[in-house]
Amino acid sequence: MLERINRAYGWIDKACKTLGRPVNIMEVCGTHTVNIFRSGLRSAMPDGIKLLSGPGCPVCVTDRGYIDTVLELAGRDDCIIATYGDMIRVPGSKGSLEELADKGNVKVVLSAEDALGLAKNNPEKIVVFVAVGFETTTPATGIVVGEAEKEGVDNFCVFSNHKMVIPAMRALLSSMNHKIDAFLCPGHVSVIIGTDAYACIVEEFGRTCVVAGFEPMQIIEGIAAICEMLACSSPGLGSIYGAAVKPAGNVVAMGVIEKYFDLVDGNWRGLGEIPASTLKLKEKYSQFDAEKRFAIDSVPDEDLTGCRCGEVLCGLIDPPECQLFDNGCNPDKPIGPCMVSSEGACAAWYKYGRKRKRRTQ
């Protein structure tokens, strides 16, 4: 392992020398962010490497308007809200699902399948599945909608805010003030979309993309692979997660997404509206679409005063640069979504990066 680390550090050094400035690498995925912190990798990285946390935590990029709508639905006596655990602490303008959970109609589920199970077990209630997540969770939502249709479970519906990773990466690179040299691409999402999906980032924007798994050694080698390409001055596409990720991805799962969802423009917290980035149920499945069922109109978006989650998500600032960080905003009383999710950049900085921050102050 030491030999691998040393080899990796060799490439990192070379890249820094070649570029003559720090190398900015964005890890797109929240799981990478957390594992980078949890493994203490930041503190072990050479100075020339700057790791930026990207918009790959589904909770963090969910806009406040969506949360407020979920809270409104949770206030109805005829609804059960089925949600992934991370979502229950996200603050809307009037509290969070966790604070509303005393009515007993907010249920944490681990899968879309469990949400459908809730609907079957509670025929007198309408179960609304809070469907968030990237390409990893979207196929499961689609499959469950198919099951609900087949079995005639008409008290089940989906409030879809599923998102796609590539449009967000494109939006970041289209912004003038980004400082991203390369992306460390998420292992799980890449299993579904495949490495070829990143070709447009390399070709159109000249940015290197390397897919890596989540073990610390994989992350180090992913960073090294990026540096190797940067040192050779040729942006490229790579994967060191070859065992799980195929160039074309999981064709079946992508087919499920296409079958059940339409790609529409969508709001991302911090990034604003991104064209063709959000997945909504197709008209054909509108009976399972919460937006149709409850006549949910436009979902207003409103960012909070002082909260700089948007800039954090774009890799423009590190969380401690936000004036609210540890100053009114912490994981117990989060203001912005990056502090809520265990995979949010602010929560990870707060949870694992505290000592370092104090030492530098």
Partner 1 sequence: MSKKIMLAHGGGGRLSAELIDKHIVPRFANPILEAMGDSAKIQIEDKVAFFTTDSYVVKPLFFNGGDIGKLAVYGTVNDLLVAGANPIAISLSLIIEEGLEMDVLDKILDSVAIAAKDAGVKIVCGDTKTVDAGSADEIFINTAGVGEKMAGAELSFDRICPGDKIIVSGSLGDHGMTIMSHREGMKFESDLKSDCASVASVCKAAVETCGADVKFMRDPTRGGAATTLNEISVSASVDIEIEEAVLPIKDSVQAAADMLGFDVLEIANEGKVVIVVSADKAAKCLEACRATQAGAESAIIGTICEKNDEPIVELITRIGGRRVVQMPYGRELPRIC
Site residues (CB under 8 A) for partner 1? Answer: 5, 30-31, 34, 37-44, 58-59, 84-89, 94-95, 98-99, 101-102, 108-111, 114, 117, 132-134, 136-137, 188-189, 214, 216-217, 220, 331-332, 341-343, 351-355, 358
Q: How far is the CB of 134 from partner 1 (least distance, A)?
A: 7
Please say which residue, 61 or 202, places its beta carbon nearer to partner 1. 61
Counting other chains too, the contacts that 238-241 makes at CB distance below 8 Å and 24 or more residues apart are: 238/195, 238/208, 238/209, 238/210, 238/211, 239/190, 239/195, 239/210, 239/211, 239/212, 240/210, 240/211, 240/212, 240/213, 241/187, 241/190, 241/211, 241/212, 241/213
Q: Which is nearer to partner 1, 235 or 336 (CB)?
A: 336
Would you say 202 or 345 has its CB closer to partner 1? Answer: 345
Minimum distance, C-beta of residue 6 to partner 1, in the bound complex (Å) = 12
Report in angstroms how near the CB of residue 265 gets to partner 1 at its nearest.
22
Using alpha carbons, list the distances in angstroms from residue 140 to 45, 127, 133, 213: 37, 16, 11, 21
* Closest distance of CB 221 from partner 1, Å: 12
CB of 184 to partner 1, least distance (A): 16
- 117-148 burial, b for 16+ CB within 10 Å, e for fewer? bbbeeeeebbbbbbbbbbbbbbbbbbbbbeeb
Exposed e or buried b per residue across 8-25, where buried means at least 16 C-beta atoms within 10 angstroms of its C-beta: bbebbebbbeebeeebbb
First to last CA, the chain: 34
Question: Closest distance between partner 1 and the C-beta of residue 216, in Å?
Answer: 5
**What's the closest the beta carbon of residue 166 comes to partner 1, in angstroms?**
16
Closer residue to partner 1, CB minimum distance, 23 or 34:
34
What does the alpha-carbon distance between residue 153 and residue 147 come to, in Å, rounded to a whole number?
8
- Please tell me the distance from the alpha carbon of residue 159 to that of residue 288, in angstroms, as a whole number: 9
Closest approach of partner 1 to the CB of residue 35, in Å:
9
Beta strands in the chain, from DSSP E residues, in sequence order? 23-29, 49-56, 79-83, 106-108, 126-131, 156-160, 162-163, 182-186, 208-212, 237-239, 261-268, 272-281
Q: Closest distance between partner 1 and the C-beta of residue 111, in Å?
A: 7
DSSP state, residue 325: B
CB of 109 to partner 1, least distance (A): 6
d(CA 14, CA 209): 18
CA pair distance 344, 335, nearest whole angstrom: 12
β 182-186/23-29 pair status: parallel
Closer of 65 and 353 to partner 1 (Cβ):
353
Question: What is the arrangement of strands in the sheet containing 261-268, beginning at the earlier edge strand?
Answer: 162-163, 272-281, 261-268
Q: Which H or E element spans position 7?
A: helix 2-19
